[in-house]
Structure 1
Amino acid sequence: MLAMDANSDLVKRLSAAIAGMDLPSVRLGQPETVEQVAREAERLFQGYAKANTGTEDAYAAALAFLRGKTLDSWERDRIASAIADPVRERNGEIVLGSSRFSELLKFYEDEAQRGELWRLTWHGLLYAYFRFDPTLTRGPAAHQGWAVLRAFLQRTWPLIDQQAGSNSVPDWIAVLRKESDVLSEKPADRYAMACLQGDSTATDQLAEDLGIPPSSWFWHALVLSGVRRATASNDTEFRRLIPRLLHLIDSKPAFRDEAIEAILIRYHACRGTPQDESLRDYVCQPRVWKNPKLKQAGLATAWNRVPEPVWQMVLAWVNEGNLRDFFAILAARNKADEGRLAFWSKYIKQITWTRLVFGEDTIQLKNTHRAIRELIAREEGAYARLRDARDLDAFMMQIGSYLIIEFSKKPNACYAYVSDQLPFKPYDQAYAGDTSDLKAGYYGKRAARISHQPGWEAGATDELRRLGIFPDRQDNRNEISRPGTKAGTTTTRSTTAHLTPPPDISSLHSLVSRFRGASIDDNRTTTGGGRLWVVDPLQRTQLAAELQSMGFRWAAARQAWYLPEH
């Protein structure tokens, strides 16, 4: 028969088991009676890890605790398994989030240090540790309480392990002796690679042995660990794993933001990598991080998690997609493209912001036109509507210090406005679409007007050049990196291409003064040495675009813009 001492948790469970037996029918003093109790003890002792300990008594103890009651010794043991369970009568509050939880945990730790904490009580705490569901628990207090519980279990596990000895230990103790990493700050790292490969054999067995429920934080942590392993891989392997990572994040989203942050930063570091449309479409969903264009309007704050160049990378993806979709889907529907997609694609690297404005006909077409439906869904929360022009759509794009508006239907001209002198607000939810706002340039309140007559491209190029806007340079020589591009990718400058006239120094001072913290460092000498620099610690997108239009280039070593020698 199992050896027991007066303080063992088994005695308590056996007492409960014996109390529940039909004593009049038991022949006391008979060997078979002792064997029956021993078998019951073995069943309880070995199988307790797989039992559901969330009994009515445990729930009642949790409710009493949250109501401020001082628990007696029995209630303190019972509550252990229910500290992560939402209590209905307290609007889903849990003991882990209570200000009194640390007091309760100190009681357990004092008992553990004295060797008096029942192992089944400790197991109840372990059960609650795995039972915690981060997707249902609101507020930081519960998450902090869970972290405190984890640290407690990690500290006291050696005491419980030592007390258990080596004879006839329950399954959960045997498992923890091999898998004690589940109590560490990186509990799922050792299983992450198998998770990425879709192999759940090891984690399924762990869940069975330790009673980890499907809603546990553990599965979310497993996904985050998988993301960390993937981002540590080489570029090719990392990109191959992205679809798998997005699927895992979507299924276990508790640490979604941390995971997305790691993926985007790693993608930005890939060399020579084109945009990943699946990554773009997932991250930009309204239920995820929203459209990156909404960051500056304060409507998509999750983008503040990543560095400015990473945000600019995804913003460039969205802007390029909007440009192509507008002319390929909306303007083409009205047979009004007239080469505009090819023309504006020459300036794609300088487009720092875009916005689509849909007419009512386009909004209605989403019910029957798949491409339009997908376009509107991608722009959810970012697009505007035209009130008075049902069959017209508009496209806004920021290039340098100008906001340019194209329309989807002839005979509408294209208008360019100075961005800080707009006759409308760029983030309005709706526009009339006439000369009262978007077409105010018809009456001369504009920086430029482009009419799409045959051969219009040459005149449009000259008109933009007059504004200091030149086509993107596409040459493989003299390559440089600039903010907003992935590390290792380049914006190219041709030594034989058209040279931008040097900027007027007073205009440059006027420009830089608009961006707080930016400064000019003019090291040029009368003999032609030195360079003209612009330093912007915040690396703002609009200033970068305007400096580029003036001919400045980015120096990665100094993290500043310089004007090359002409």
Structure 2
Amino acid sequence: MTSDGGIDALLVEMKARLKSGGGRAPSEDHQLDAVRRYWDSQEVSTFRDAYLLSWSLCLPHRPRGQCVLEDRPRLQGVLDGVDGYKSKTSAYRRCYQGLVKSYFTYDADAPEVPPVGRKNWGVLRDYLHDNNGDIRDRGPCPEWVDTAVENRQLFGEVPCAPYVGALLQGDASSIDELCGRLQIGKGSWFLRQLVLAQVEGATKRSHGEFQHLLPRLLALLANNEVLRDRGMIMVLDRYAQVPGTTLHPGLRDHAVAWWGNPWLPSNATRWGGVVPAARSMVAEWLKLEFIETFFTKLAEDGLGDPRRMNFWKRYVKAIDHIEFALGSFARNSREPDFITLRRKMTGLTRELDASGANNAFIMTMGKLVAVEFSGLGNALYGYDAGRSIPFDTTRTLGLSVGGNNSLKQKGRSILWLSHQDGIHGWAKWEEMFDATLRKEFGILPSAPAPQGTQRSSQPVQPLSSGKRGVGDSPSNRSRSTTESYSNVALRRFAAIHGLEVDDKTSMGGNLWVRGASSDDMVNQVLTRWGFRAKPGKGWWR
């Protein structure tokens, strides 16, 4: 015999079920049987037919076949059949409840949905909105009826708007209750739209509020691939409006993980939806991370080089493109950090024939291609981006000075600077580098590098020794005849005329320009710059 306590609990459960109006959805077998019969007859003869069809608008009448929502005449037939029970409110609302279930189940935004299905879903939405008041009568109503009537906007253009504020504060109780009463499944489009509504709502908040909500927005988008791109576009465009656009590691990492490197041509389509300022913002963040990584994680023996790192971080806006020449360890290491790093560097890594922790960092800044090396004590090599580059990054690169496809081509470089304090009249090497970049190339910290010609709209490609540009033009050659002497001018002049610069001044020797040339202009320029010719060897000073 049931105890008094058990009877009380059973009565409470029965009252709750009665109040909810519940009832479970009819079995799928019964729904499918009704759909198949209706598909052939196109008649809604009984209340049972109207009731079952209301719940089954999304069920295909046969495997891979259409459903009622994808056939306008059949959909209209069901709605007309349901309308026949409006005079019996309790019966009508049971059908209405099934229509609500079909409405929240059918994903009109899915790519495989035919246009007619998307249009008919809109017809169903309008029907539910327009007939929302007909499911109430004077007597007690199930809870789901009150919920549907009080949330009529669910069947309109902006179904999610009233819930955004609470959700952004982390309160999902009203949504849990709503989904329970209206039987909205976890796979419903409505829950995905709630994500997008939260993102949109957050972008309308103040700068501070938006930044505070950003971790929550990224977590929401990370779990929603369907709306991820649309949501990330809104987030990035909004963050680009924040004064200072302070680095946000989470936003950078999510954007790069989902869309890839923002300045690579292969990712242009993915990044095409954001405003240019947002794309540039993430590009700068990523370059900053790469600079830090190279001078820490990829440094020789894992020893950090904070001075070089901090120097180049100041020039992040001037860096147009980056490539990494990785030695064997960095290319093959199975350490989690290196695996993650290589994934983030996709499209930027090149093969370096070097053992151990030897790596190189290749930067393009306007007319200058600068190469830094991970090993301490290596000089900076600079090459003229406008003419033939003496190495090809699509092939295996080397490190031997003057070697085949080596990054160290001192004789063909236009810049060779040592990271050494107290030389050439400079207290610190950073001051010497700053002055050289500014004077010879017009490159300044925190500013885009000037371009020799109008910036090309062509995609950035790996550096190739076969590429030639404005550096080989007659105008560039004539410019060198009137240019004042400087180390960079000398190296540029030598590169144009196939000569080699051999600087032995650091060892107390002379500065040599080696090679042979029958061009009188070469001798005139070098003589004007203070060089003396030595037959068979070249010019020295």
Question: What band does the TM-score fall into relative to the shorter chain?
Answer: 0.5 to 0.7
1:86 is displaced (CA, Å) by: 7.9
1:325 pairs, out of 293, 310, 315, with 293
Change (3 A) 1:177 1:335: closer
Aligned pairs, number: 428
Corresponding position of 1:123:
97
Shift, 1:405, TM fit: 2.8
Give the counterpart letter for 2:282 in structure 1: V
Using CA pairs under 8 Å that are at least 6 residues apart, name the structure with larger relative contact order, 1 or 2: 1
2:407 is equivalent to residue 407 of structure 1: no
1:264 and 1:310 in contact (8 A); partners too? yes
Counterpart in the other structure of 1:382 = 347
Checking the alignment, whether the CA contact within 8 Å between 2:125 and 2:155 is kept in structure 1 is yes
Instruction: Tell me if structure 2 keeps the 8 A contact 1:319–1:352.
Output: no
Separation in 1, partners of 2:331, 2:297: 13
The answer on 1:439 being equivalent to 2:406 is yes
The answer to whether 1:102 aligns with 2:69 is no
Q: For 1:273-318, what per-residue CA distance to the aligned partner results, in whole angstroms no more than 9, with x for missing partners?
A: 4111111111211xx2222133xx2235221111111100111111
Aligned equivalent of 1:158:
130
1:393 Cα deviation after fit = 2.0
Q: How far off its partner does 1:145 sit? A: 3.0
CA gap of 1:323–1:437, structure 2 versus 1, over 3 A, is: farther
Distance 1:419 1:189, change over 3 A: farther
2:31 partner letter: A
Residue type at the aligned position of 1:241: L
Whole-angstrom distance in 2 between the partners of 1:416 and 1:329:
23
Q: Which deviates more from structure 2 when the two are superposed, residues 212-221 or residues 311-320? A: 212-221
1:72: Cα distance to partner?
A: 4.6
The answer to whether the 8 Å contact 1:356/1:384 transfers is yes
The match for 1:468 is: 441
Deviation at 1:88, TM superposition (A): 9.5
Partners of 1:404 and 1:415 within 8 A in 2: yes
Structure 1 residue 361 corresponds to structure 2 residue 329: yes
5 Å matches for 1:37-186? 51-53=24-26, 55-59=28-32, 71-73=42-44, 78-84=52-58, 89-90=63-64, 95=67, 100-111=70-81, 119-132=93-106, 139=111, 141=113, 145-146=117-118, 148-159=120-131, 161-162=133-134, 164-186=136-158
Mapped contact 1:348–1:472 kept (Cα < 8 A): yes
TM-superposed CA distance for 1:122, in Å, is 3.8
Is the CA contact 1:403–1:416 (under 8 Å) kept in the aligned structure 2? yes
Paired with 1:335 and 1:443, the residues of 2 have a C-alpha distance of 26
Out of 271, 277, 287, the position equivalent to 1:309 is 277
Instruction: Single out whichever of 327-336 and 346-355 deviates more from structure 2.
Output: 327-336
Q: 1:105 corresponds to which letter in structure 2?
A: L
Q: Given the superposition, is the C-alpha separation of residues 50 and 219 from structure 1 closer, same or farther in structure 2, using an over 3 Å criterion?
A: farther
RMSD: 4.0
Which residue pairs with 2:181 in the alignment?
A: 209
Do 1:359 and 1:389's aligned partners in 2 also have CA atoms closer than 8 Å?
yes
Asked whether the equivalents of residues 119 and 160 of structure 1 are also in contact (C-alpha less than 8 Å), the reply is no
Residue correspondence of structure 1 range 523-538 to structure 2 within 5 A: none
Asked if 2 retains the 8 angstrom alpha-carbon contact of 1:413 and 1:449, the reply is yes
CA contact (8 A) 1:150 1:183 kept: no
Question: Match of 2:501?
Answer: none
Aligned pairs (5 A) from 1:192-231: 192-231=164-203
Aligned position for 1:555: none
- Residues 277, 440 of structure 1: alpha-carbon distance in 2 compared, 3 angstrom cutoff: closer
Cα distance in structure 1, aligned partners of 2:405 and 2:27 = 63
Partners of 1:115 and 1:163 within 8 A in 2: no
Residue 346 of structure 1: how far off its partner (Å): 3.2
Q: Name the SS for the 1:398 alignment partner.
A: strand
Contact 2:42 2:77 survives alignment (8 Å): no
Taking a change above 3 Å as real, the CA distance of residues 443 and 178 of structure 1, as seen in their structure-2 partners, is: same
Distance 1:463 1:513, change over 3 A: closer
- Structure-2 residue corresponding to 1:511: 453
| SS state at 1:299 partner | helix
Shift of 1:267: 0.8
Corresponding residue for residue 468 of structure 2: none
Amino acid paired to 1:389? A
- Deviation of 1:461 (Å): 4.1
Q: Secondary structure at the match of 1:330?
A: coil
Q: Which amino acid aligns with 2:330?
A: T
Structure 2: distance between partners of 1:85 and 1:389: 62
Query: How far, CA to CA, are the matches of 2:350 and 2:298 in structure 1?
Result: 14
Q: Which has the higher mean CA deviation after the structures are superposed, 205-214 or 155-164?
A: 155-164
Residue in 1 that maps onto 2:267: 299
Distance in 2 separating the partners of 1:81 and 1:255: 27
Match of 1:496 in 2: none
The one-letter amino acid of 1:193's match is: G
User: Which residue in 1 is equivalent to 2:260?
Assistant: 290
Give how far 1:202 is off: 0.7
Cα distance in 2 between the residues matched to 1:306 and 1:300: 10
Contact 2:392 2:405 in 1 (8 A): no
TM-score, scaled relative to structure 2: 0.67
Structure 1 length-normalised TM? 0.64
